[in-house]
Structure 1
């Protein structure tokens, strides 16, 4: 067997940045790199294990024999072990065998591995990132398609259960590049968001318990296959958002936990280093080397996989020291507060690194509390995210829609309350995977009434969502009215599209996506109070609300009227800002969606008659459980 050769990819400057928490491309140094040394081909390995007494690489190239390829520790007390193994090749499996100063021996997968064995196997695989991208057109113009003043309609997908093949197995990345891309194009979503694709050991975690932070899961194919999927989405004009999980990680024996026999990546204080809800470990955000690791990981996906956005999971759990903890189970910060100051600093560094490095990308926080300025720039004291999930809107809206129509007049505030804080953040409206599991029912399953009313309510909900300010997110299956809760180990019930009501919901979503994309009033000022104006929010008796959506050009303003009862309202008078005519451009009660077909076929003349505190008004026809959108001309 070839002996290990001393070699290093690190400079003194690299080490200084790593220690300072400011090295954001660690993947170029750590891990397994195929290189030549003095004309000899092989692989350079580097791993951080400061508590190690010895670190060996074991793998296919040495028959998994310990002590054959023992790495050299750097002289600078950085805790980095490194070395070059001649003859090691792409595709070879390997792990690090680490003997700690306290006598503990661990065998760990490479934290920087580019590829991993198919679970339940746990070894890392020597690989590369060679790929010829064909998405130059998308990347060159991404800043014009992925900004906050552009349509942001997101289709959230769990790759393992979107659709299975004829044998009941996962679709591969390559098969998804054909089927998923075509479907997203057909339905008109502007983005897909993928539940975590980074390698994870346990299917029921849905990908949220990561061990291979730099490796797309091998369940669906090779890294280049995943690149091909992203490439195809970009070529189809579809942005790609990845769920990113810097909030916690599992304690699997081959993972990051207790990596070198010490609390290396996790916080040593269990009050900060263990998550009671998910029974997983929490990163030590105050350790500079860990910050470098995490931010490098974010940069890695944006750089090497051309990802357009990162949705950061469980931000609330990171920000609050008392999250899911009882009194006495957490320790206040130095000022006596509940905020995790290390996390706040880390998230600001993360967002600054992302936005200064890449043009036209977005970071999105899943943050469920009233923590201020999550989506405000760091230079203004914010955390620096581009957007934040509007969890309050989701909760209040679903609560409202669960109610029988006869009671809705008593709860209209559940709908209108969102507008009191809608512009305090750049909000995305999420109807996500979390809302269709654990006994909550599917979105359709929450809708009251008989079958016709349930589907009318569903179309009403989606139409209200798409005309409300903010980005939109819908979990797979919801777009055609899946009856059953989501099952991570099955497939969506695609056979439902044989039935007219389900087909009608899908058609409505397709048209809502077109409405959103084709009308600047719905997106140009979607995060600004200038983009929204109430007409009436206090018609509780009829359970009707009406409002104006505005863009840069007042001539393109839209009037939206929502009827939350099954009572047809003909006529219904609406106050308006000026003269002209109302032309109906969308109606959720259309017959092609499964509705009753009550509509304003001809343009409605606006009269000089005071109503809703305005000098002008018009009488329109409101369909049952319907939303009507008008252009003013």
Structure 2
């Protein structure tokens, strides 16, 4: 105790906010902070452990001996233990040794607010601070328009450990190496954003990062915190936004983690019907506890504030919304109104989104939410949850199911593709082809497709073309862009060697050009969340398996006409109705030779006729290439 000095970063106002669940910058107070007290350099430690009898900081500076550096409990009933330890600084490793007051249990825990963690499988926290100088002032000033709901938003989803390996040394690429290779690649492919699967510290590689123990620390697998900032900075330099996968829904029960933190159910709900995830064998936060809400919202704010993240993709939202999520009768208890909504979790989500958009109005939160819960991406004042966007899981399932069918049967299932337009504008939808679709026996995207090699890749190109011309923003998982043929394996690099083959190179070129097309054509993004931005020409030609529609921008001259031929049979003299007379030009063709298409079916004479078709006064005859999307604009 003599080696720990009384000192505090907390004011009475901080404590009141914390108890009320309204302190959203807790990372400025909790954790380890290098400070100077009365002319003496050292580190201030603060941890929340209300059920503790005593708390010691143990580390490499005191031979991990409990009692050498005991913290002082605050007098205000907040449950906060704190103290200043001289001569402890950057790079020292530590944990909290916590003796519980009511059951004689002693736990040894990593710091929930640590800014850096040891490299797994080691589990201690590291005293850390960096003075990284950001160089993204221009991006931050202008990112509001890049993140806007009426801007192109095309996301490349990445798992940093498996995107590419350093082959000679059989290791991960570092944050610094990724700042060269990954940044250049995403820019070359014309994506507007990159999304990292969770980079917060996690102990177990097979969890892919979804079982977090270090909520405030970028994983040390790839380098130091300031090097991760450098990676974000380099993306911003290239004009690319950075989204982080964030997991407030559950956490693992590892001994050094948040579970049973001070000998009590501090972070997790004490009732296992609300506090334990049967699917993931993990613990669920107690959303009804004010301090937990403040912890989680502070964490969301932390990554936006300290790491200049441009948005958060929030994992497993459905599991938070419903008390009976993945539970049988008798395994859950209704809320006070007799319903299955988890009211405290819903309040937390609304508070989180409110604070995020109040503090950072130029970012986006995106919900991975798979149910029909209404108004997920609608404002809170309108009864919504307040997310900026929501994943369109229905579109994903229906589209993949359709494209898996042999073309001869597709005429019986055209509704699989058209149905999404019945509800496409009920939310601000993002169309996801994510990591979840290429694991656990689901096969790689291209291997879901029927036919010989040419047909499988033509179907892949057609699926992506449909995705990019369908209303909504886009997300594609790494490897999908060049037709990775094996399921994703987190332990190995993507199969980059496939790009020596023209068929894979062609798929990659298509995605590159679709991103460019999406960014260039205002009709594809200006009204991507509004029914005014879409109009069918013909959704009923089941016999030929052809779809045609118009994407609309603010100005009529920007409108794009899309035609999909969903079979390998070329369609000569195929007539579609047009909104007006005039001459058109072809602006995209997924059957182009450079995409490994046939390149044989041309549309050169594109002048409308005054012939009624599809209930329109004007029409045009086209040649539709096999398994293709072609797009046109008026000259």
Residue in structure 2 matched with residue 335 of structure 1 by the alignment: 337
Give deviations 1:10-67, integer Å, cap 9, x for gaps.
0111011111111000000000000001111100000000000000000111121110
Q: Which residue of 2 aligns with 1:431?
A: 433
Aligned length: 633
* Counterpart in the other structure of 1:41: 41
Q: Whole-Å Cα distance in 1 between the matches of residues 13 and 207 of structure 2?
A: 39
Separation (CA, whole Å) in 1 of partners of 2:88 and 2:410: 68
Deviation at 1:2, TM superposition (A): 7.0
Q: Which residue of 1 aligns with 2:314?
A: 312
Query: What is residue 410 of structure 1 aligned with on the other side?
Result: 412
SS of the equivalent of 2:400 reads helix
1:147 aligns with 148
Provide the residue aligned with 1:119 in structure 2.
120
Is the 2:603–2:622 contact (alpha carbons within 8 Å) kept by the matching residues of 1? no
Compared CA separation, residues 12 and 438, structure 1 to 2 (3 A) = same
Q: Provide the alpha-carbon RMSD of the alignment.
A: 0.8
| Native 8 Å contact 2:577 2:612 kept in 1 | yes
Query: Aligned residue for 2:23?
Result: 23
Kindly indicate whether residue 265 of structure 2 is the aligned counterpart of residue 263 of structure 1. yes
Please report how far the alpha carbon of residue 598 of structure 1 lies from its aligned counterpart in structure 2 after TM superposition.
3.4
**Alpha-carbon distance in 2 for matches of 1:466, 1:612:** 24
For 1:454-491, what per-residue CA distance to the aligned partner results, in whole angstroms no more than 9, with x for missing partners? 00000000000000000000000000000000000001
Post-superposition Cα deviations, 1:104-126, rounded to whole Å, max 9, x if no partner, equal 00000000000000000000000
Q: Would you say the 8 A contact 1:2–1:85 is kept in 2? A: no
Segments of 4+ moved more than 6 angstroms: none
Q: Which runs of 5+ in 1 are unaligned?
A: none
Deviations 1:160-186 (A, max 9, x none): 000000221100000000000010011
Q: 2:290 and 2:7 mapped to 1: Cα distance?
A: 25
Is the Cα–Cα contact under 8 Å of residues 27 and 302 in structure 2 kept in the other structure? Answer: yes
Native 8 Å contact 1:2 1:86 kept in 2: no
TM-score by length of 2: 0.99
SS of the residue aligned with 2:32? strand
Deviations 1:271-328 (A, max 9, x none): 0000000000000000000000000000000000000000000000010111110110
**Shift in Å at residue 603 of structure 1?**
4.6
Structure-2 residue corresponding to 1:77: 77
Q: Are the equivalent residues in 2 in contact too, given 1:129–1:304 (CA < 8 A)? A: no
Matched, 1:570 2:572: yes
Give how far 1:210 is off: 0.1
Once residues 434 and 591 of structure 1 are traced to their aligned partners in structure 2, the CA distance between those partners, rounded to angstroms, is: 31
Matches of 1:551 and 1:13 in 2, distance apart? 50
CA shift, 1:601, in A, is: 4.4
Cα distance between partner residues in 1 of 2:511 and 2:297 = 36
Per-residue displacement from partner, 1:378-427 (whole Å, max 9, x unpaired)? 01110000000000000000000000000000000000000000000000
Instruction: Give the whole-Å Cα distance in 2 for the aligned partners of 1:528 and 1:522.
Output: 11
Name which of 165, 189, 193 aligns with 2:195: 193
SS of residue paired to 1:82: strand
Partners of 1:599 and 1:612 in 2: how far apart?
23
What is the alpha-carbon distance in structure 2 between the residues aligned to residue 598 and residue 98 of structure 1? 73
Q: Which residue of 2 aligns with 1:353?
A: 355
Q: Is the 8 A contact 1:161 1:491 kept in 2?
A: yes
Inter-partner Cα distance in structure 2 for 1:416 and 1:602: 29
Residues 408, 543 of structure 1: 8 Å contact kept: yes
Residue 103 of structure 1 aligns with which residue?
104
Corresponding residue of 1:6: 6
